[in-house]
Structure 1
Amino acid sequence: MEKAKEILTHVTHTFYPVVGGIEKVIYETARRQAKKYEVYVVTSDKNSGQIRGQEFTVKQIRSLRFFNMPDLTYPLGHDEILAKSNIIHFHSQNSLFSIKLLENSSRFKAKKVFTLMAVDSLKDHPNKIIRTLSHFYSRYTISKVLTLSDALIVKNERDRKILREKYNKDPYLVPDGIDELYFNFPYSENFKKEKLKGEDYILYIGRLHKLKGVDILIESCRFLNTKVVFIGPGNVEYYKLLSRKKGVGEKCIFLGYLSEEEKISAIDGSSVVVIPSISDYVEAFSLVLSEAWSRGKAVVASSVGSLTYRIRNGINGILVKPNDPKDLAFAINKIINDKELARKLGEEGKKEVMGWDKVISLLDGIYNKLKNE
């Protein structure tokens, strides 16, 4: 008789069809781990949907959401699968949903793993109310994570340093992976030929949101002699109107959501990929950086969050001051005008990228160590 698989459960406040970094990472992780484990994803009933025909099962818990903020999602009870799990992997210390279910699971036999993201980043949040309350909220959530978790994971050296120096903890470092498609997909400039009629452009990939620096990038267009392509979900009409108000409407092209193949072709055809975020809070890892690097593309990014630690300025990318349209434009123009520099930055960045197989192997090593303790 075949031995039953151990049960591995991921806990996250939102999941597909919500589009975002944490949702994508958990999805890619869970479906690969299903080869070895019986995998579940426990999430809220807010803005999430049942995935059918996949290798893992999604369980939804009835929840409340305060102030329409995903991080402030409160679970009303817990799913029975948590009590049956061998390993429970929680995500994001800023998530009230994850923290409350970690508390509820403290009496269960499962080993509890917690991935922390953008540690202590709420204190630089642009929202004054969030900044004001962040000290009390973060102190509460961090204390629960450090007390109740059997293993801690971070995605980057920034968070690892904070946990070591401020909290006297030594977490495991496990970056997010990149789909094999990004390594294997043939180089293509079809996007440039078909969408841009051969014109040069720089590329933004991600949510259209103020914290992601979209407003700053639009403002910087006044100092750029190239078009800017925006790929990702969000209020497209608002940003189209904003670009017209700033007098750069003809330079800004908003395409919304694209398939992975189209996105790869867009990266290939671009002059540079730009990550203009303005807050540590939204840059816990940056899959976009890895995606651009995997294609050997030069990147200009704000000096915030994990970007400051992953990018070595002038070696594998260019870092600029956040919230500074002129500084951003200067760096972009520098790369556009120096193709050899662009090539070198992209080649160095490519050395930093990790595939999902390696990530899954690292996680499995952590799980096995816990089970053997």
Structure 2
Amino acid sequence: MTMVGNKRSKMIFFDTTNSGHHFLYNCNVLEGFDISGESYVYLSKLNKDQQRQLALKKITYKVLDTKSTNVRLHDLELIIKMFFYMLKSRIKKVHFLYLDSIFPQLLILLPILLLFRLQVTGTLHWYPKQMYKIKIMNFMINLGIIKNIIVHGEYTKDKLIKEFKGLNNDNVTSIQYPYIHNDNEKSGYEPPLQKLGSVPHILLFGGLRHDKGLDILLEAASIIKEKQFILLIIGKEEYFKQNDVRSYIDFYNLKDKVYLEIGYVPDEMVSSYFNMSDIVVLPYRKVFAGQSGPLTEGAAKSKVIIGPNHGEIGHTISKYNLGLTFKTENVNDLAQKLRYCIDHLEEIKTNIRPGLDNYQNLIKVSRFKKAYYSVLANNH
């Protein structure tokens, strides 16, 4: 384990991983506390490049490691090491930056939490769907273990307060998920596709997971293929592999309508794809319960958002007037909304402009940092 920073810490920030957008998100939280002059330390599994970036930002950190390949054992070992560090350093307070995935591990370590009266807060990115997570979370709230929860949306906050008796407006806070993509990191590379004049470009961006509904979108696109549009499918293989996607495209005869870029997308490339798009589509299934990175990115880039009418995404699109919603998992309704958006694109862009201006102010990273600090500083 490696330690950087000399200040006596009052609180631990912890995450089991720094993959994907975790690291960028976590850095912005930590920077808010660093500016405040408070003394905190970030404990996590960090590679050399991440350690270098934290050092440059003068963020105090400690490297944890484990050789376990089993996800739950991996996370459990890291949390145990984090608790040992807390006890050794006489730190009582910890904020879990990704509370969603560690409820079973916290239950196993409940005796340590109770015996040493450790104070736990956490960020819940998704409303828990699995019954075992709901029961563990409810148990730990009622025991007073979990003191405060941060979520990213009023819909999730209201649902938590409604479903968990121990939660209320005093211990659940909604902070808008920020626009944290760094536009200054540009490689000068542009995607090979050139924007085709006035033809609307519709973007599906992100990992090709089943819950994100790629198959739903392609079927909907096949219904309106007489329209002039380009569908950009950008993301890495997950549930859907490249061969699966190409099979769908061939089956629906969409070869001339789809531009496909399957693989990891570097951060510096993200803006290029959003900038060339007119519409960002989120064909997500009902099981998807969280906020959406592509929604935030699209709204920040002043794009029309089309998403499901359920959960946090539907609530956000409707409340802030960011675009159109369709009946979740309803192919025909999605096709209808896509057709309407293609036919009335400029009118819709004009109508949603005030909502986009308001939302872009809410997702500023400076606002996010201040809100995070305010919540945790006032609750510790």
- The answer to whether residue 151 in structure 2 is matched with residue 159 in structure 1 is no
Please report how far the alpha carbon of residue 275 of structure 1 lies from its aligned counterpart in structure 2 after TM superposition. 1.0
Q: 1:270-285 counterparts in 2 under 5 A?
A: 270-280=277-287, 282-285=288-291
- In 1, the alpha carbon distance for the partners of 2:275 and 2:148 equals 39
**8 A Cα contact 1:73 1:95, kept in partner:** no
Please report how far the alpha carbon of residue 31 of structure 1 lies from its aligned counterpart in structure 2 after TM superposition. 4.8
- In 1, the alpha carbon distance for the partners of 2:204 and 2:378 equals 40
Please report how far the alpha carbon of residue 238 of structure 1 lies from its aligned counterpart in structure 2 after TM superposition. 3.2
Deviations 1:23-68 (A, max 9, x none): 542343235544444431435xxxx855230224442345563xxx
Flag the structure with larger Rg: 2
Please report how far the alpha carbon of residue 331 of structure 1 lies from its aligned counterpart in structure 2 after TM superposition. 0.9
Helix, strand or coil for the counterpart of 2:25?
helix
Equivalent position of 1:205 in the other structure: 205
Equivalent position of 2:252 in the other structure: 246
Equivalent position of 1:233 in the other structure: 236
* Length, aligned pairs only: 341
1:81 to 82, 85, 89: 85
TM-score normalized with structure 2 length? 0.77
Please report how far the alpha carbon of residue 145 of structure 1 lies from its aligned counterpart in structure 2 after TM superposition. 4.5
Q: Note closer, same or farther for the CA distance 1:82–1:306 as it changes in structure 2 (3 Å cut).
A: farther
Equivalent position of 2:42 in the other structure: 40
Task: Compute the RMSD of aligned alpha carbons.
Answer: 3.3
Helix, strand or coil for the counterpart of 2:121?
strand
- The answer to whether residue 127 in structure 2 is matched with residue 119 in structure 1 is yes
- In 2, the alpha carbon distance for the partners of 1:105 and 1:254 equals 49
1:150 to 132, 147, 150: 147
Please report how far the alpha carbon of residue 362 of structure 1 lies from its aligned counterpart in structure 2 after TM superposition. 1.3
**8 A Cα contact 1:117 1:155, kept in partner:** yes
**8 A Cα contact 1:277 1:301, kept in partner:** yes
- In 2, the alpha carbon distance for the partners of 1:346 and 1:102 equals 49
Please report how far the alpha carbon of residue 146 of structure 1 lies from its aligned counterpart in structure 2 after TM superposition. 5.0
Deviations 1:306-346 (A, max 9, x none): 11221217933211112222211221221222112123225
Q: Which amino acid aligns with 1:196?
A: Q
Equivalent position of 2:64 in the other structure: 59
TM-score normalized with structure 1 length? 0.78
- In 2, the alpha carbon distance for the partners of 1:290 and 1:345 equals 15
**8 A Cα contact 2:149 2:173, kept in partner:** yes
Q: Note closer, same or farther for the CA distance 1:271–1:191 as it changes in structure 2 (3 Å cut).
A: farther
Q: Which amino acid aligns with 2:42?
A: Y
**8 A Cα contact 1:93 1:142, kept in partner:** no
1:257 to 249, 264, 287: 264
Please report how far the alpha carbon of residue 277 of structure 1 lies from its aligned counterpart in structure 2 after TM superposition. 0.8
Q: Which runs of 5+ in 2 are unaligned?
A: 55-60
Q: Note closer, same or farther for the CA distance 1:301–1:5 as it changes in structure 2 (3 Å cut).
A: farther
- In 1, the alpha carbon distance for the partners of 2:283 and 2:118 equals 40
- In 2, the alpha carbon distance for the partners of 1:176 and 1:72 equals 29
Deviations 1:195-254 (A, max 9, x none): 135353201121111101111112222124322112222233432333223322332222
- In 2, the alpha carbon distance for the partners of 1:214 and 1:178 equals 24
- In 2, the alpha carbon distance for the partners of 1:3 and 1:73 equals 28
- In 1, the alpha carbon distance for the partners of 2:279 and 2:64 equals 40
- In 1, the alpha carbon distance for the partners of 2:133 and 2:150 equals 20
